[in-house]
Structure 1
Amino acid sequence: MDQILSNIKIQLNEKLYVKDPETSALGKKIIQESILLIDNIGFEEFTFKKLGEKIGSNESSIYRYFENKHKLLVYLSSWYWSWIEYRLVFATSNYSDSLEKLKKAISIVTEKVEDDQKTLHINESILNKIIIAEFTKTFHTKEVDQENKEGFYFIYIRVINRITSFIKEVNPEYLYAKSLASSIVEGALHQHFLKDHMQSVTDCNQTTSPTDFYFNLIENLLKK
């Protein structure tokens, strides 16, 4: 699977960027360093001016790739969910048992992410930290309906729909498969955040992971 994934080029919505950052060394550097900078100072404090200073380039050069920092964040989240989707596709392709296939999918969207050394300019482990902390900011905006129409969140929705289909395989009579799938994906991010910052309101800790919680949830909830 690793060899197959290493040969796949992730395709993202062209409306997210002015120029595809994957087509140049500067573009890849913008992606690489923006991930590190957002993780370091947070999205609110992140600016193209600060990014330009970090990469030794004019602020205007970053605008040649991205219209604003919101679209850069949506780009990063879209890249992340596309990477997750590829992992889902290949990791679940050979399962005959529907519950085990669902559990494998859940483990992928809820587990702690390790850096994929094959993508040299993107540290998935750090990007995962950004998704945990900042993902809701990609669509908690006044423009969410229009951006949704333009397909900004299409890859994320595909991930939800894929897990929804796995839930329906386990129990076709369960009425709330989409709500459960989106709750698993969104809830896992939230549980990771609570585990790291507000342990008094979660059972997840160093020994009990969000994956453990969601395994327990679906095994009990989807019983026929």
Structure 2
Amino acid sequence: MFNNGLSTYRRARIIGNLETVALINHDGVVDWCCLPHVESSSLFARLLDAEDGGHFTVQPATPFEASHEYLDRTNVLETRFETTSGQATVTDFMSIPDIAEAHQVPQATVFRKLTCESGHVDMAVEFEPRFDYARTKPTVEEARHGVVATSNEKEVFLSGSVPFSISDHAAHTSVALSEGETRWLVLGHDQEIPIEPPHPSRDACRRHRLLA
């Protein structure tokens, strides 16, 4: 079923690594991503199928207002959430060649940084990969640093510092954050990535020009 809510994607933004891209909506949902390359089959395709396409959601567990913007002259995306209990920011980026090589991580890696700016915010995380344009529901199992989704010869790993619950070919968790606290979620293709990420320097990030 084609997603009838395409008007919402006017507020979506793209992060990338010169090899592929991820489409992130203003509410913290990765609605489209192909790994490891842009011509690869999809991992998340809610853009095309709102119910069964697959997604990777990070957003407050309670009602919120949201906005997002790129860091100045970079392809690093910040999504800011306001709730009645506090404010939180999710920072999204992908590893680009010089950073990936320096830190020995694959380029096809998505980093999601969760930070509480004030008060306290409970963040809900939903990881529902659907391989090959949602033709395949992968097996989701525990891994050393999080969970792994597997189908045929394809694997994707989600690493995090919190335990995940697994059900219905998906993984879920909640992250309770107080002011000043930070947590990381790291999505890796065919390889489990340590939770500690590389720090993207501003010079390196500038290689990613905004897609206006």
Give the TM-score category using the shorter length. Answer: under 0.3
Larger fraction in strand: 2
TM-score (structure 2 length as normaliser):
0.26
Superposition TM-score, scaled by structure 1 size: 0.25
Query: Which one has a larger percent helix, Structure 1 or Structure 2?
Result: 1
Structure ID, larger Rg: 1
